[in-house]
Amino acid sequence: MPPAPSLSDPATRAPEQQVWRDPLALMLESTGEGVFGVDLDGLCVFINPAGARMIGFEPAELLGSNMHDLTHHSHADGAEYPVEDCPIFNAFRQGLPCRIDSEVFWRRDGSCFPVEYSSHPIIDAGQVVGAVVTFVDITERKRAADALQRAKSELEARVRERTHELETALHQVRELAAWSDKVREEERTRIAREVHDELGSLLVALKMDVNWMDKRLSEQGGRSPEQAQDMRQRMRCKCQNMSRLIENAVDNVGRIITDLRPSILDHQGLWAALEWQAQEFVQSAEMALDWCMRAEPEGAWPEPPEPLAMAVFRIFQEMLSNVGRHSRADRLAVQAVVEGGVLRLSVHDNGVGASAQAFEAPDAYGIMGMRERARHFGGVIDIDSAPGQGTRMCLTVSLQAGAPA
């Protein structure tokens, strides 16, 4: 019986197994990275198809060519790259590997591409005889890295800008809070002065009249009928004077209370309060008033919740206050329009106007206060003004939510 054939015998090896006779060549053929070998003079000993294709050649064209002069001769900016500075050659001359990802290789057509390459020395009998260089086109990686860096830079810029905005807003809020405290104290001082000067003097006068009457009443005994008649007349005059003083005191108390919180806002609602405030203002400022109120659908005047109504009323007061302090106008147009549950309340004067920067100034506390009140309820304040063209201030806010935003 003949012996069984050996699988290690080339004559008996199957055709499929013949394909694997040169695995190194197969690996070089199949890899997507470029691989080439150079001798000590930098001349190409071999290059795989992927590497040759990346630099625009056929493998056979590159054999024996100086690879530095062919594909690594210049920097990305076109400046000459001396071979003495080339990491590939320095690495294998020193017997050390290197890996670089910050340079370019040049193609046959004169274009270049960013590349990551590594150079490993080939040592034979203890002597360096050349090097194997592996390289890959990292154009997409660089593009992605550049895009990532741009996005990072933009994000950092936006963070810096946002941080600056927040710091500015915080500073403005602090200044606005300080200004509000100052205004509150000034208002308390004004009210205290009015109470002292007006109500205090009235009450002192009343006390003096009461004391006078008490003294006269204690002196009633022993008077003649004529003297008694005269005293009664004088006491009647005192009573009438006391009545006038009390009426003045009541008027002053009502005025102070109205300054603190207009009763018309509670009794007749926001819309009547706005018209009353406008009429009061133009009367004291001696200005002509164009008043317009309309609702869509007609007659649909929703009464907003008390906090929102008070905010709208205070914003309107501040608008009128700005007109009185700065505009030097003689005519005022006020328009209140409710449509779809949204209020647009505008105040337009024919005064001197101002630049847009004046309304954004850090010390424009009245404007900041109005905007903060409006923002609290999801509303906005728009201001349109120019020197010599008057000023238009408009509040836009929804009346449906009624709660702070």
**63-94 residue pLDDT tens:** 999 999 999 999 999 999 998 888 888 877 78
pLDDT value, residue 373? 85
Between 9 and 356, name the one with better pLDDT: 356
Report CA-CA distances (Å) from 19 to 25, 196, 205: 11, 113, 125
Q: Worst-scoring range by mean pLDDT, 2-11, 69-78, 135-144, 275-284? A: 2-11
The confidence band for 51, taking pLDDT boundaries of 50, 70 and 90, is: very high
Secondary structure element (H or E) that encloses residue 199, with its range: none
Residues 377 and 313 reside in one and the same domain: yes
Q: Residue range 94-119: average pLDDT?
A: 91
Domain count, the chain: 3
Over pLDDT 70: what percentage of the chain?
82
Whether the per-residue pLDDT at 47 is higher than 70: the answer is: yes
Q: In what order do the strands lie in the sheet with 34-39?
A: 44-47, 34-39, 127-137, 112-124, 98-106
Whether the per-residue pLDDT at 224 is higher than 60: the answer is: yes
Q: Worst-scoring range by mean pLDDT, 97-101, 137-141, 253-257? A: 253-257
Pairing state between β 380-385 and 44-47:
unpaired
Residues 165 and 133 reside in one and the same domain: no
Whether the per-residue pLDDT at 112 is higher than 50: the answer is: yes
Pairing state between β 391-398 and 380-385:
antiparallel
Residues 199 and 249 reside in one and the same domain: yes
Whether the per-residue pLDDT at 133 is higher than 60: the answer is: yes
**What is the crossing angle of helices 306-322 and 365-376, to 10°?**
160
Phi/psi at 117 (5° precision): -135, 155
Residues 222 and 342 reside in one and the same domain: no
DSSP reduced 3-state for 405: coil
Q: What is the CATH number of the domain that holds 273?
A: 3.30.565.10
Residues 382 and 280 reside in one and the same domain: yes
6 falls within a domain = no
61 falls within a domain = yes
pLDDT value, residue 310? 86
Between 193 and 54, name the one with better pLDDT: 54
pLDDT value, residue 306? 84
Between 89 and 116, name the one with better pLDDT: 116
Domain span at residue 246 reads 144-260
Pairing state between β 44-47 and 112-124:
unpaired
16 falls within a domain = no
pLDDT value, residue 5? 45
Q: Tell the burial category of 89 from Cβ atoms under 10 Å away from its Cβ (0-12, 13-18, 19+).
A: buried
pLDDT value, residue 252? 72
How many residues comprise the chain?
405
The mean of the pLDDT values for the chain is 82
Residues 132 and 152 reside in one and the same domain: no
| Residue where one domain finishes, among candidates 137, 168, 202 | 137
Residues 252 and 275 reside in one and the same domain: no
- Distance between terminal CA atoms of the chain? 100
The confidence band for 15, taking pLDDT boundaries of 50, 70 and 90, is: low
403 falls within a domain = no
The confidence band for 296, taking pLDDT boundaries of 50, 70 and 90, is: confident
The confidence band for 222, taking pLDDT boundaries of 50, 70 and 90, is: low
Whether the per-residue pLDDT at 96 is higher than 50: the answer is: yes
Residues 124 and 192 reside in one and the same domain: no
57 falls within a domain = yes
Q: What is the CATH number of the domain that holds 25?
A: 3.30.450.20
389 falls within a domain = yes
Alpha-carbon distance 112 to 107, whole Å? 6
Q: Residue range 7-14: average pLDDT?
A: 48
Whether the per-residue pLDDT at 28 is higher than 60: the answer is: yes
15 falls within a domain = no
Residues 278 and 217 reside in one and the same domain: no
| Residue where one domain finishes, among candidates 260, 281, 308 | 260
Residues 326 and 351 reside in one and the same domain: yes
Tokens of 70: 């062919």
The confidence band for 288, taking pLDDT boundaries of 50, 70 and 90, is: very high
Residues ≥6 apart with Cβ < 8 Å to 55:
34, 70, 71, 105, 106, 107, 108
Between 74 and 340, name the one with better pLDDT: 74
Residues 253 and 342 reside in one and the same domain: no
Instruction: Give bridge partners of residue 106 from the DSSP assignment.
Output: 112
Q: Which residue has the tokens 């690879």?
A: 67
The pTM (predicted TM-score) of the whole model is 0.47
| Residue where one domain finishes, among candidates 260, 281, 316 | 260
Report CA-CA distances (Å) from 387 to 283, 348, 356: 26, 14, 9
pLDDT value, residue 204? 73
Residues 273 and 393 reside in one and the same domain: yes
Asked if 393 and 381 touch (Cβ cutoff 8 Å), the reply is yes
Whether the per-residue pLDDT at 31 is higher than 90: the answer is: no
Which of the listed ranges 211-225, 293-307, 330-344 does the model predict with the highest average pLDDT? 330-344
pLDDT value, residue 8? 45
pLDDT tens for 254-270 read 666 666 666 777 778 88
